[in-house]
Amino acid sequence: MERSKKIIRTSFVGIGVNLILVIFKAAVGLISGSVAVIMDAVNNLSDALSSVITIIGTKISGRKPDKKHPYGHGRVEYITSALISIIVLATGIISLKESIEKIITPEKATYGVVSIVIIVAAIAAKLAVGIYVRSVGKKLSSGALEASGSDALFDAVLSGGTLIAALISVIWGITLEGWFGAIISLFIIKAGIEMLGKTVSSIIGKRADPELTEKLKEALCAYDEVRGCYDLALHNYGPERIIGSAHVEVQDDMTAKEIHKLTRRIATDIYMKFGIVLTIGIYASHEDELTAGMKNDLDAIVSEYPGILQVHGFYVDEEQMTVTFDLVIDFKADAQSICDEVVAKMKQKHGDYTFFAVLDSDYSD
Ligand SMILES: [Zn+2]
């Protein structure tokens, strides 16, 4: 089954469980004439909201690319996750406020058998649905499902706290509901902030998963003609759509025809294997004594700078008397001044050559 269909089906389970709870509570409330229980039923109706948002978000994100959004609509999923994280955060803040009010003016709770039965049933149902939805969300890397599963789990924990407080109140006659609620609320607020942070970070654009980049580099370097692969950059438009670019180094006597064949083959293989559309750029390399000697000098200079993560694309053009190379420098280091110093030191050793260093960004591991 398609990923989006699985997400929608799982969300319907969430809605179904909440609706059953609504009917159950409403019936009990009407029969026993308890306004509190009827209000609780209404509250349950709003818990289905995160599942509804997930379904709508999944439908929109599944839309095909169009002229206005040529990269597809996959990033809608991040917005959906952010919305649900905000719901979780709001739940935490509201229940913290209610708990503080209960601490200030504790009411002697009167729990009937009916309300305890309802609480236990609700905890069991929410716990089950929360664990299920969250695990499916993790498996499908759907932030929205994960968040809405967590939402249900937090509801269960809050109800659990209420139940324990009720039991303590019945047995020892102390009212702890406010304190229990406050502590649990703080946990929910923390989790909500973390969930929101995670999705916002996806929207901003995160460093690519090192496991994936490792495998990609391995695949790129597997071709006989490829002497090295660098500058791998990946952009995602939702969890399922990744495009990117990379440089591969080949011998400088390869013809355009040979390079054409090679890069086509690489791009096709990568797409088939990873589903990633990768644009391949070319660096030329040449092996002779002059190049090896200069490269040794450069390596010696570079070793003095811990901020330099990598040197690549080293190429000596004897006709033009130019040398080009790329430096990948740590984001924390002062890239431009390190680059200038390295070029100046190379110039000291090889005065007749002009050096061009390109600063590459540390996009991936
Ligand atoms: Zn480069």
Does one domain contain both 140 and 234? no
- Pair of tokens at residue 232: 């791998």
Q: How many whole angstroms from 241 Cα to the centroid of ligand 1?
A: 24
Looking at 23-32, 33-42, 325-334, which range is the least confident one? 33-42
Q: Kindly write down the DSSP assignment for every residue of 319-365, as one continuous string.
A: TTTEEEEEEEE-TTS-HHHHHHHHHHHHHHH-TTSEEEEEEE-----
Does one domain contain both 195 and 69? yes
Q: How many whole angstroms from 227 Cα to the centroid of ligand 1?
A: 14
In this structure, is residue 365 part of a structural domain?
A: no
Q: How many whole angstroms from 12 Cα to the centroid of ligand 1?
A: 48
Does one domain contain both 235 and 190? no
Does one domain contain both 241 and 198? no
Does one domain contain both 241 and 324? yes
| Average pLDDT for the chain | 88
Q: How many whole angstroms from 293 Cα to the centroid of ligand 1?
A: 21
pLDDT band, very low/low/confident/very high, at 152 (cuts 50, 70, 90): confident
Q: How many whole angstroms from 245 Cα to the centroid of ligand 1?
A: 11
In this structure, is residue 144 part of a structural domain?
A: yes
Q: Which domain holds residue 189?
A: 3-204
Number of domains composing the chain: 2
Cα distance between residue 199 and residue 85, in whole Å = 9
Q: How many whole angstroms from 358 Cα to the centroid of ligand 1?
A: 7
Of 99, 117, 104, 96, whose CA–CA distance to 34 is shortest? 117
Does one domain contain both 171 and 297? no
Whether the per-residue pLDDT at 33 is higher than 90: the answer is no
How much is the pLDDT for 108?
63
Q: Which residues touch 137 (CB under 8 Å, ≥6 apart)?
A: 7, 10, 143, 144, 145, 146, 147, 148, 149
Q: How many whole angstroms from 257 Cα to the centroid of ligand 1?
A: 23
Q: How many whole angstroms from 234 Cα to the centroid of ligand 1?
A: 14
Does one domain contain both 340 and 221? yes
In this structure, is residue 134 part of a structural domain?
A: yes
Residues with CB under 5 A from ligand 1 (ion): 230-231, 313, 326, 360
Q: How many whole angstroms from 244 Cα to the centroid of ligand 1?
A: 14
Q: How many whole angstroms from 272 Cα to the centroid of ligand 1?
A: 25
Longest dimension (CA), the chain: 96
Does one domain contain both 86 and 180? yes
User: φ, ψ for residue 284 (rounded to 5)?
Assistant: -95, 150
Does one domain contain both 195 and 214? no
CB neighbourhood size of 312 (10 A): 18
Q: Kindly write down the DSSP assignment for every residue of 13-68, as one continuous string.
A: HHHHHHHHHHHHHHHHHHHHT-HHHHHHHHHHHHHTHHHHHHHHHHHHHTSPP-SS
Tens digits of residue pLDDT in 103-140: 888 766 566 777 777 778 888 988 999 999 999 999 98
CATH code for the domain of 85: 1.20.1510.10
199-212 average pLDDT score: 91
Does one domain contain both 149 and 287? no
259-265 average pLDDT score: 96
In this structure, is residue 264 part of a structural domain?
A: yes
Q: How many whole angstroms from 312 Cα to the centroid of ligand 1?
A: 6
pLDDT band, very low/low/confident/very high, at 298 (cuts 50, 70, 90): very high
Q: How many whole angstroms from 314 Cα to the centroid of ligand 1?
A: 9
Does one domain contain both 231 and 313? yes
For residue 285, list its beta bridge partners: 251
Q: How many whole angstroms from 247 Cα to the centroid of ligand 1?
A: 7
pLDDT band, very low/low/confident/very high, at 345 (cuts 50, 70, 90): very high
In this structure, is residue 323 part of a structural domain?
A: yes
Q: Answer with the one of 160, 188, 204 that is the final residue of a domain.
A: 204
245-258 average pLDDT score: 95
Q: Answer with the one of 177, 204, 231 that is the final residue of a domain.
A: 204
CATH code for the domain of 353: 3.30.70.1350
In this structure, is residue 297 part of a structural domain?
A: yes
Q: How many whole angstroms from 300 Cα to the centroid of ligand 1?
A: 19
Cα distance between residue 265 and residue 270, in whole Å = 9
Q: How many whole angstroms from 157 Cα to the centroid of ligand 1?
A: 51
The Cα angle at residue 159 between residues 156 and 160, in degrees rounded to 5 = 80
Does one domain contain both 326 and 279? yes
Q: How many whole angstroms from 357 Cα to the centroid of ligand 1?
A: 10
Q: Answer with the one of 204, 233, 268 that is the final residue of a domain.
A: 204
